[in-house]
Structure 1
Amino acid sequence: MISVGMTGSVAACTVTFTTVDRRASPRPAVLPEPPELDTAAEVWPEATFTLPTRLGNGLDVQPVAMLDTDEVLMITPFALARFVVYDRRTKKHRVLATAPKWGECDLCYDIKSVAVSRTRIAWTAEIYRSEPWNAGKRHMELWTMPRSGGPMRLVTWLTGHGDVRFEDSLVIEGDHAVWDGGHDGYRVPLTGGKADRLPGSFALLDPESRNCGAEWCAQQLPPRPYELTTVAVERKDGSGRTTVAATGGPLIGDRFGLFGPPHVYDDGPVYISGGRTEPSAVVYDRCTGRSAWAGADGADDSSEGVKQGARGTDDPILFWLEPGGRRYAVVDLSRIPDWFCVP
């Protein structure tokens, strides 16, 4: 089974924040309500569409990235790992590459994070090889292949036996892959050679950390009792700050926030009002100041929530399962106009 944790997902969770100055004000008779938001399909109809969860040959798939206007890179989440290209116009697909045969067993080859450049696809995978001396311990590896298809090739091990990461992120910069595993990372030449060790980003592990792109940052602000939780979006130097009714999450491509729904906190860590169901997410566009709901309305806590696709040359996709589980709703962030965007 493939467990794709492509960077940035908002799903059901329990988060404890440290509130500040709890004695500052008495509990009001009426608590604030989360703002009314339209859905992503209503706000950005030109960027939203649906994809099948199963192809004509019975192959279960999950979207990863847009390769062009109509072609979507997908993976097989419940079988031997394959990269598949699906054409939205013709409804046909072709297999780009298949994992080694030894990866067919359960938990032997789980794709985690994927990155796409104009020439290559790279990904991290949790690996178990059934060597007699291994005692069932898993580790993480970096793999790559041409964007046009071809054999999957192991680049390097990223961790030792028994060391897998709950979350990681991967980008391609030129001929290198840059991997962030939380408390450490590597810059690795995809053609082979010495990997350079990098400091990790604890923002992967801490929802209250400041999450920065090239110029802009997002950070969960300490919640105050009886007030809506907010996220600050600002430049690295603190200028241009605005606040969004939401909970912490990543800032994508210096423009889009993928945040959790806002909550109102009582005199403690448990939220008492949240409006939308937890598997939903707030998508915030810094360029226009607009926010929209993403996620299946009415989904229960077992939903995987809203996921972010692979990082690539354009803004990534966001996707989630529609009710019934037969199709994915997709938002292609690269199709949202940037006429009003200020660097």
Structure 2
Amino acid sequence: MSDDATRTAYERELAQVIGGAARRAPRAPGGYAAQVLTRSRRRRARTQAILAAVAVVVVAGGGGIGLREALGADPPVAAGPAREATPSPAMTLPAMPAVPDPVAQVWPEAVHTIPAKLPDGRRGRPLTLLDEHTVLLETWESFEKADAVHTYDLRTGRTRKVTDIRTPKGVFASGFAVGEGKLVWQTIDKMRTSFWSVPLSGGKPTAVKTDTPVEGRGDKLVVTGGKIAFSLHEGGVFTLPLEGGAVTPVEGAGRHHILKWPWVGTPGAYTPDNEPSFERILNVETGQTSQALVRPGEEDIRCGVTACVGRGPGRKPFYRLRDGSGERALPDSTPGLAHDRFMTAQVRPGVQALLDLTTGRSGDLGVRPDAEGRQVSVQPGLDPYDRLIAYELKNEYVLIDLARIR
């Protein structure tokens, strides 16, 4: 069979697997705000070390690394307890070219570049997309300590300050989320989490007051139905009126973490003992649950609402649906998904590509080792369902809007 025929057969089969799951399963309700995704690997390490949350995609030194988790639109879930499925025969992805075409050529409608510096000379770091043409940016007072949030219009290049952010020494604003005309975020001080809000139209931040202190370290928040829904690193999901009020535990989610609202799960993204991430998930609106199939000896399991990736015997990476069906071998990379669909992989030393598992298409991210041979890698932050991948390249930020890839 020719390479083109093999690719076509693979694309058809994988599309049928994913499409079949979509038809069989209910969809998670949409409408919740996109979350902030990206920060540097150093921020990730610090975040995990201090057990705080949320970030922005970035570039950092180290070996070639893939996307760790999924981001994106409202995927379905394979519901009910996992069956001891017999996976279909292993089928690898079609061989990628030594160097794929650049991502901007493969998906021109989804890729933008913006200057790494704002017109006033300050560096602006992308947080998330508010819509197809508006980027939310932060600027820093000192290393990774945000002091302001701005918007950037991809059509005109104009920036607008949304708000200034002031936090005490050693306290960082994180977990930025948007929804219902508001920008909200959290701060963590001495093991206690506080929440803040400002209109996206601009203004001064106001504290979102709570009836009792929130003891614990916030790991993710969303804006939904007039409320802030948040989870804690220590476990537990809660809601709080957007204008302040009573902190209410979500029934049945005492040990859970937010994955993609209304889906919460356990364990969360932080798995220091290599536990399967989001092995069990719960829809807090419908009560539906899903237990991902995990076989003895498998490692690095990272699950989303629909699918999981991990490493099997011999540390061979794989992709499969949560119930164990549709298992496929993956290119060698650190397992992880974005949008339950995308991953990064090294196509050769020093060359990373974004790979679409639905279509088999790939695009060169353009990052290369520096003059001293240090490898730069692109990886997402802790939110598996943001639509934005952003990384710095030659004094610009490359923005990839995963929601625009069809």
Gaps of 5+ in 1: 16-32, 128-136, 263-273, 338-343
1:317 corresponds, among 368, 375, 388, to: 388
Q: Decide whether the 8 Å contact of 2:177 with 2:185 is kept in 1.
A: yes
CA deviation vs aligned residue, 1:276-325 (integer Å, no higher than 9, x gap)? 33xx765332331334443622256585744459788xx511011113xx
Offset at residue 209 of structure 1 (A): 4.7
Offset at residue 220 of structure 1 (A): 1.4
Q: Decide whether the 8 Å contact of 2:269 with 2:382 is kept in 1.
A: no
Corresponding residue for residue 121 of structure 1: 183
1:146 partnered with 2:202: no
Task: Please show how residues 1-343 of structure 1 align to structure 2 within 5 Å.
Answer: 5-6=54-55, 11-12=60-61, 36-38=98-100, 39-79=102-142, 81-100=147-166, 103=167, 105=169, 107-108=170-171, 110-127=172-189, 137=190, 139-155=192-208, 158-160=214-216, 168-189=219-240, 190-192=242-244, 193-196=246-249, 197-200=254-257, 201-206=266-271, 208-214=299-305, 216-222=306-312, 224=314, 229-232=316-319, 234-254=320-340, 256-259=341-344, 261=345, 275-277=348-350, 282-294=353-365, 296-299=367-370, 301=374, 303=376, 305-307=378-380, 316-323=387-394, 326-337=395-406
For 1:286, give the aligned amino acid: L
Provide the C-alpha distance between the structure 2 equivalents of 1:258 and 1:120, rounded to a whole number of angstroms: 31
For 1:334, give the aligned amino acid: A
- TM norm structure 2: 0.57
Offset at residue 66 of structure 1 (A): 1.9
> Matched residue of 1:76: which SS?
strand
> Matched residue of 2:330: which SS?
strand
Provide the C-alpha distance between the structure 2 equivalents of 1:295 and 1:138, rounded to a whole number of angstroms: 40
Q: Decide whether the 8 Å contact of 1:282 with 1:291 is kept in 2.
A: yes
Percent identical residues: 23
Provide the C-alpha distance between the structure 1 equivalents of 2:405 and 2:333, rounded to a whole number of angstroms: 23
Offset at residue 124 of structure 1 (A): 3.1
Provide the C-alpha distance between the structure 2 equivalents of 1:185 and 1:294, rounded to a whole number of angstroms: 37
Summarize the Cα distance change of 1:282–1:304 in structure 2 as closer, same or farther, 3 Å threshold: closer
Provide the C-alpha distance between the structure 2 equivalents of 1:185 and 1:249, rounded to a whole number of angstroms: 27
Gaps of 5+ in 2: 1-38, 45-53, 65-94, 258-265, 275-298
Q: Decide whether the 8 Å contact of 1:113 with 1:310 is kept in 2.
A: no
Provide the C-alpha distance between the structure 2 equivalents of 1:173 and 1:248, rounded to a whole number of angstroms: 32
Offset at residue 249 of structure 1 (A): 4.6
Offset at residue 275 of structure 1 (A): 3.2
For 1:6, give the aligned amino acid: A
> Matched residue of 2:348: which SS?
coil
Aligned-residue Cα RMSD (Å) equals 3.8
Between Structure 1 and Structure 2, the one with more helix by share is: 2
Q: Decide whether the 8 Å contact of 1:70 with 1:88 is kept in 2.
A: yes
CA deviation vs aligned residue, 1:242-262 (integer Å, no higher than 9, x gap)? 3321434543333x3344x46
Larger RCO: 1 or 2 (CA < 8 Å, sep 6+): 2
Provide the C-alpha distance between the structure 1 equivalents of 2:402 and 2:390, rounded to a whole number of angstroms: 11
For 2:55, give the aligned amino acid: M
Greater CA deviation, 176-185 or 67-76?
A: 176-185
Summarize the Cα distance change of 1:152–1:246 in structure 2 as closer, same or farther, 3 Å threshold: farther
Offset at residue 43 of structure 1 (A): 2.4
Greater CA deviation, 290-299 or 38-47?
A: 290-299
Paired residues, what number?
A: 278
For 1:276, give the aligned amino acid: P
> Matched residue of 1:224: which SS?
helix
